[in-house]
Amino acid sequence: MQLQFKFTHPNALRQANSVSFSSPRYNELRFGIVMLPWLKRAAAWLLIAALNIPLEAMAQAQDAKPLSVPAARTDAKRAQKAFLAGKNAEVRGWLEEALADYDESVRLNPRDAEALSRDALLRSRLVHLRVDAAEQHALAGDLALAKQELRAALRIDPGNPSVAERLSQISEISQFPVPAEAPRLAGIPQLRPVPGKRNFNLRGDLQSTYQEVAHAFGLKAVFDPDLPSRTVQFRVEDVDFATAMSVLQTQTGTFMRPIDATTLFVAADTPAKRAEYGLTVEQTFPLGESVAPEEMSEVLRILRDITGSTHLQLDTPNRTLTMRDSPQTVALTGRLIQQIEQARGELLLDIELLEVDRNKALQLGITPPSSARLFAIDPNAVRSILKAKDLQTLLTLLQQIFGGQSGLLGSGQAAARIPPFILVGGGTTTMLLTLPNAAANLSDALTLVQSGRRVLMRAQDAKPATLFVGDRFPITLSLLSSSLGTSPFIPTVSGSGFPRVDLAVGNSPAALAVASFTGSSLKDIAVVNHNDNSITVWLNQGSGNFAQAKNSPIVLSAAETGPSAIVTADLNPATDSFADLVVANSNSNTVSVLLGNGDGTFTEAAGSPFPAGDQPSAVVVADFNGDGKPDIAVANKGDNSITVLQGDGAGGFKPFPKSPFNMPGPLGIGTTSLPGAIVNTAYAATLHSTGGTGAVTWSITAGSLPAGLTLDSSTG
């Protein structure tokens, strides 16, 4: 009997608010059940009933002949020979040859477990060696050799996904440019020795040794009169001029400085002689990569610690560093600044904060079984099962064992009522153990997530990157604690006004809207210009500074004239989360919809502009039918109507049924001066109404008639 379970590793999580898994790995769990011969027959009957297999099909299966599987051809002798050759090569350190021999052994005898094990271990070892070498080359800046090592690792193990991924990553990285060598300091003499390398084995006084070395490179040496003469033994091989002079100066405690291209001056290496004869230069280095003042101060501290120089001056506003010291120290400082002044590495973190349903989250995974039942079968029941004449009788007996009634059920329904089970026992007592149920929920739909936030955070090397999650509420602590003082809290308002920033827009700006058009936390500005039919977009740079967006101002088409109102909203939440624009055009009687691209630019939606009423003057965006998709309502000043457009969630709109909705206009009532009244004569006055229709109720609420006059209520 064999059960097969499938285990998966969560190597891939897709961003559709559902969870999917990949890279399946299969493991097999095998176990056997030892049964007596008569129990085997009973188990066969029980399995037939549980699987609902007709007896005729069982008989046909018994008559069928099993298929023969041809055995794989093996050559054990050649395989063993190749295996031994691989072991010998591995002992000698010839790993590539050993792997080839192991591969040949496995090919000739695939069932040799030891050869398979050694082949896999050696392959993994070689891959790790190649990958480690590649990482070392990458750290040293030699990406070409790193890629060469990774390709060699892939030839050893072509199906290794980690090596392939690392190779693709290194292939995308461009090598850092090698900083150019700093130019030589101008205005100071430079020696021009004869190029090449020399061997020296000299013994004599100090002056003659210097002269011999200088003469070997086509130079001459002059000395300080105070330089004492002493015996020197100088022996070096295959050295150039710079190396020979460096060794000789260190050995004799002297220093040399160039006088011209062919003459050098030698003096004792003491502070007094350095101050008297040493060259001093001054150079200013720009600190282009240091942004903050503390970064420039850190560079200054490093240079002081390494060079030991005290003549360093930092100009923070101009981001420069000035040094006055010997040419060697100044040159060393330039090389150090080239190495220190590197742009900091940056890392972009994509963080998703999801608030999930607790109950649904607990259901994800494998729910183990909680109970199982064990049924004991006496020998009489077993004999009854063996004597069953047909399938219906067998199912009836099984239903009696499991405690159910199957008299009114068909064979298929009765078999479905029998739970899965296995046989336990094997002596005088036989038992049936039901297999408990288990559930595995490996994914869920969007209902698992209640709310979510996506944060794109850029972190810089050696700088803290903080993330705030939550809601902030301003609290006045003086109102909560008496220890902070008993005087009432009176906020003071500064006398200075708010800083003013003037932004250029189009001709006759009519309305503006404020929203984040780039997905940041800063609010940007969009202004509609009535006379030149354009939209000006300004992007917030922080600290009150704005920069005009790309392609701004946006010029509307000939069917979109006289923009008079604008509003921002996310009109296509199914596609993105960027702010979009809705513009009411009072001259062309249309509504324009512009979808945001997330960088301050906009694209006009399909079907835009959409028709509206006469002189649209105001616009609002909301969900009017409760389908979760934003709709648009436009107030039309010219015909006293409201146009309502239904959104599809992707930036498209169509009029709602019965749109536009006409509103009753104002009713203006007026009259000329009332005519004079005559006794016993009917009084009549004509009133004029304009601007609307409808039933009108007349009443007199104030006033009185002259003496002798009465009002007939029937005629008014």
Residue 568 belongs to domain spanning: 509-662
Nearest to 521 by CA among 459, 596, 468: 468
- pLDDT tens by residue, 102-134: 999 988 888 888 888 888 888 888 999 999 999
Q: Is residue 69 part of a domain?
A: no
Instruction: Judge if 517 and 656 occupy the same domain.
Output: yes
Q: For residue 206, give the CATH number of its domain.
A: 3.55.50.30
Spatial neighbors of 465 by CB under 8 A, at least 6 apart, are: 349, 457, 458, 459
Q: Is residue 597 part of a domain?
A: yes
Average pLDDT over residues 394-410: 63
Q: Which position has the higher pLDDT, 220 or 346? A: 220
Contact of 108 with 74, CB cutoff 8 Å: yes
Instruction: Judge if 91 and 144 occupy the same domain.
Output: yes
Q: Among the three residues 315, 343, 371, which one is the final residue of a domain in this structure?
A: 343
Instruction: Judge if 265 and 129 occupy the same domain.
Output: no
Residue 684 has what pLDDT? 62
Percent of the chain with pLDDT over 70: 71
Instruction: Judge if 520 and 656 occupy the same domain.
Output: yes
- The strand pair at 220-223 and 198-205 is best described as unpaired
Spatial neighbors of 133 by CB under 8 A, at least 6 apart, are: 149
Q: Which position has the higher pLDDT, 532 or 468? A: 532
Q: Is residue 395 part of a domain?
A: no
pLDDT for residue 339 is more than 60: yes
Spatial neighbors of 600 by CB under 8 A, at least 6 apart, are: 517, 518, 524, 537, 539, 549, 550, 552
Q: What are phi and psi of 628, to 5 degrees?
A: 80, 10
Contact of 517 with 539, CB cutoff 8 Å: yes
Q: Is residue 371 part of a domain?
A: no
Q: What are phi and psi of 312, to 5 degrees?
A: -125, 130
Q: Say how far apart CA 89 and CA 75 lie, in whole Å.
A: 21
- Total count of domains within the chain: 4
Chain-centroid distance, C-alpha 605: 28
Four-residue CA torsion sign, 75, 81, 82, 86: positive
How sure is the predictor about 412, in pLDDT bands with cuts at 50, 70 and 90?
low
How sure is the predictor about 221, in pLDDT bands with cuts at 50, 70 and 90?
very high
Instruction: Judge if 517 and 628 occupy the same domain.
Output: yes
Q: Which position has the higher pLDDT, 321 or 353? A: 321
Nearest to 230 by CA among 209, 248, 244: 209
Q: Among the three residues 172, 187, 219, which one is the final residue of a domain in this structure?
A: 172
Nearest to 14 by CA among 352, 458, 470, 453: 352
Alpha-carbon distance values, 288 to 127, 176, 300 (Å) = 42, 17, 14
pLDDT for residue 72 is more than 60: no
Instruction: Judge if 86 and 129 occupy the same domain.
Output: yes
Residue 491 has what pLDDT? 60
- pLDDT tens by residue, 505-526: 888 898 999 998 888 888 899 9
3-state secondary structure 451-464: EEEEEEEEEECCCC
Three-class SS state of 117: helix
Q: For residue 93, give the CATH number of its domain.
A: 1.25.40
Give this prediction's pTM: 0.31
Residue 212 has what pLDDT? 93
Q: Say how far apart CA 22 and CA 26 lie, in whole Å.
A: 12
Contact of 231 with 203, CB cutoff 8 Å: yes
Q: Is residue 595 part of a domain?
A: yes
Q: For residue 536, give the CATH number of its domain.
A: 2.130.10.10
Average pLDDT over residues 397-410: 60
Q: Is residue 144 part of a domain?
A: yes
Residue 366 has what pLDDT? 72
Instruction: Judge if 118 and 203 occupy the same domain.
Output: no
Q: Say how far apart CA 188 and CA 607 lie, in whole Å.
A: 74
Q: Is residue 5 part of a domain?
A: no
Q: Among the three residues 632, 662, 692, which one is the final residue of a domain in this structure?
A: 662
Instruction: Judge if 165 and 235 occupy the same domain.
Output: no
Residue 240 has what pLDDT? 92
Instruction: Judge if 530 and 652 occupy the same domain.
Output: yes
pLDDT for residue 181 is more than 80: no
Alpha-carbon distance values, 504 to 71, 547, 562 (Å) = 86, 11, 19
Q: For residue 331, give the CATH number of its domain.
A: 3.30.1370.120
Instruction: Judge if 268 and 285 occupy the same domain.
Output: no
Alpha-carbon distance values, 315 to 54, 293, 522 (Å) = 96, 10, 33
Instruction: Judge if 561 and 655 occupy the same domain.
Output: yes
- What are the contacts of 386-390 at 24+ separation with CB within 8 A? 386/38, 386/41, 386/42, 386/45, 388/45, 390/55
Alpha-carbon distance values, 230 to 134, 205, 645, 659 (Å) = 54, 5, 104, 111
Cα dihedral value 404, 409, 415, 421, nearest 10:
0
For the chain, helix (H) and strand (E) counts, in that order, are 16, 34
Percent of the chain with pLDDT over 90: 18
Instruction: Judge if 318 and 331 occupy the same domain.
Output: yes
Q: Say how far apart CA 693 and CA 696 lie, in whole Å.
A: 9
Q: Is residue 517 part of a domain?
A: yes
How sure is the predictor about 35, in pLDDT bands with cuts at 50, 70 and 90?
very low
- pLDDT tens by residue, 573-621: 878 888 899 999 989 999 999 998 888 899 898 888 999 989 998 999 9
